[in-house]
Structure 1
């Protein structure tokens, strides 16, 4: 693992509501999970900080409402952050807070540096486009105009994620959930991004389909060396994939460390409950 992170996030905050003197200034308030009882402001992510290193898979685990998906949407610029910083080593040498960049620059980062696989494929795919068209769209957004290259690249990616060549012109709406996720993965890989974001990608899939998607993710990491953030509420998924793990609760990181350490010797009471529920 190299010293310089490919992604560094500092004090990421996403709140819904204006806040008040009590919650803004850290006064003695008895919080109701992640909301202020005085003004009702919800802190979906509250001063989240972490680093992602080259070739690493970072797991993010926590219950529903812990802030995992909100954090991912902020990192992919689907949600505008309230405050915080994020630095990407392959963008301006990691010296620019990308959260402060223009919408045009954010589109560039989304299309060339980041890949996103959503829990719900409808968010990541155009269901009425062909599968090959979905991938080409991502390459066109990144400035590619070579039709032959895009067609060959799309076919190679769909083959890589085990979509039959006979079905590459089918629309994703005709596919099973597992096949839709594999098309999403192919699309996310189209511009060779150094960072891949995966948000609950196995939720709702049959166990056998889950296993094939997880195997694909591991293969991609081994062959391409892409850094990944994998969000899941399922510790078994995190155990299989992640080198390090972050545990989130009520919008905050409450524990982080090597995945083996987190799972074998959890320190926080909530993490202990998570781990023991697996046994």
Structure 2
């Protein structure tokens, strides 16, 4: 691909602890997995660089604790980074490191450029608001003040994610897990974001519900040409959705490439173990 990425991430790091000379110097090798034996610092995300292109689904796969969800939280400004840079391809702002922006500017990016679907709907929805009220909240945050517009948008999005309109005034706490995820997807899409983050969105759902949610994500991506980063520990999810795949282990990228290539001919011993354990 020769076009400019819609999102470029460079040397992203997130550590818990101050670090010491032992773990800052890679040659001394005091870090076991992602934990420094000398000072107790945990390197949740270490030196991550990636590109996301327009209309692409990028899969991030790895075991629990590999740093993939922490990376998503950093990108969505849910947690502060230790160091690194990220650039969104927006007119006139291509060279702005979004991590260095003010909290108000970061909020603008969350409201206009990003959508987020969390593993646990409690983090993405107000469970005691109506479903359409959740969507309206996101639209208001993005600057919409027209009530009839917001209602029309809310109805259209809920219809698109197969939530019956006679239930639009109901709170998500009364819904099943699969319906909650679908409301979350509708809310995340309400501001037409060019970039959508999906963090383990099918975990904990029944297999038939998982399939419905994945079909919905694929359909949305095809119709709207949204760029997506999909985090999962489930290779079947990544195989179905992702154009390219990154494999993470202990906070670092250990392998990346076209999804078919990574899953059919894994190069790293850990990826081989991951793939062959499913066969």
TM-score by length of 1: 0.98
1:175 aligns with 2:152: no
| Residue 243 of structure 2: aligned partner | 243
| Residue 220 of structure 2: aligned partner | 220
Offset from partner CA, 1:37-73 (integer Å, 9 cap, x none): 1101000000000000000000000000000000000
1:9 aligns with 2:9: yes
Matches within 5 A, 1:42-53: 42-53=42-53
Mapped to 2, the partners of 1:258 and 1:29 lie a distance apart of 31
Q: Please, which runs of 5 or more residues in structure 1 have no aligned partner?
A: none
Mapped to 1, the partners of 2:259 and 2:91 lie a distance apart of 28
- CA shift at 1:3, angstroms? 1.1
Mapped to 2, the partners of 1:145 and 1:109 lie a distance apart of 19
Structure 1 stretches of 4+ with a deviation exceeding 4 A read: none
Matches within 5 A, 1:22-37: 22-37=22-37
- CA shift at 1:2, angstroms? 5.5
| Residue 59 of structure 2: aligned partner | 59
| Residue 260 of structure 2: aligned partner | 260
| Residue 194 of structure 2: aligned partner | 194
Q: State the number of aligned residues.
A: 279
Is the Cα contact below 8 Å between 1:2 and 1:54 reproduced in 2? no
Matches within 5 A, 1:150-161: 150-161=150-161
- CA shift at 1:239, angstroms? 0.3
- CA shift at 1:92, angstroms? 3.9
Mapped to 2, the partners of 1:277 and 1:26 lie a distance apart of 31
- CA shift at 1:26, angstroms? 2.3
Mapped to 2, the partners of 1:243 and 1:253 lie a distance apart of 17
Q: Could you tell which deviates more after superposition, 93-102 or 223-232? A: 93-102
Matches within 5 A, 1:63-212: 63-90=63-90, 92-212=92-212
Offset from partner CA, 1:104-134 (integer Å, 9 cap, x none): 0000000100000000000000000000000
Offset from partner CA, 1:214-259 (integer Å, 9 cap, x none): 0000000110000000000000000000000000000000000000
| Residue 271 of structure 1: aligned partner | 271
Q: Could you tell which deviates more after superposition, 135-144 or 21-30? A: 21-30
Mapped to 1, the partners of 2:223 and 2:168 lie a distance apart of 23
Q: Please, which runs of 5 or more residues in structure 2 have no aligned partner?
A: none
Equivalent position SS for 1:180: helix
Equivalent position SS for 1:94: coil
Q: Could you tell which deviates more after superposition, 28-37 or 61-70? A: 28-37
Is the Cα contact below 8 Å between 2:22 and 2:30 reproduced in 1? no
Mapped to 2, the partners of 1:45 and 1:92 lie a distance apart of 29
Q: Could you tell which deviates more after superposition, 173-182 or 90-99? A: 90-99
